[in-house]
Amino acid sequence: MSAIDRFRFLAAAALVDGKLDAEEKPVLLKAAREMGVPENQIETVLRDVARGGDITASVPKDPGERAQLFRSMVDVVAADGTIDPKEQQFFRKLSKAFQLNELEVEDILRAASDAKRH
């Protein structure tokens, strides 16, 4: 999976509530840089996803990569200290594609929310 494809997943998660919060953007940008997304592609991907562009990338086949990507998406969304109901619903829908059960998703969401509050 390319860095841009992984970043598209993160951007979609960050924008699922219709906005990119001030606390979420630095976490998202840091993740993009760590993944090696070219600087000139970051804003392009964000604009595309914000306009409703499709995420054409497939979920990673490797279980470790899948879990890491899912947790990274949750970390971006939790950066503002809350995971609102729309965001929770988004992650619950993705759980099957990421081969996670409901309890695993709930644990990941709770852990991310708790970590941001402390």
Q: Are 107 and 92 in contact (CB under 8 A)?
A: no
Q: Does the pLDDT at position 2 exceed 90?
A: no
Q: Are 109 and 70 in contact (CB under 8 A)?
A: no
Q: pTM for the full model?
A: 0.83
In whole angstroms, what is the distance from residue 30 CA to residue 7 CA?
Answer: 11
Q: Could you tell me the pLDDT band of residue 69, with boundaries at 50, 70 and 90?
A: very high
In whole angstroms, what is the distance from residue 96 CA to residue 51 CA?
Answer: 25
**Backbone phi, psi, residue 109, to 5°:** -65, -45
Domains parsed from the chain with CATH numbers: 3-117 (1.10.3680.10)
Count CA atoms within 13 Å of residue 3 on its CB side: 14
In whole angstroms, what is the distance from residue 18 CA to residue 33 CA?
Answer: 23
Q: How many percent of the chain have pLDDT more than 90?
A: 25
Q: Could you tell me the pLDDT band of residue 50, with boundaries at 50, 70 and 90?
A: confident
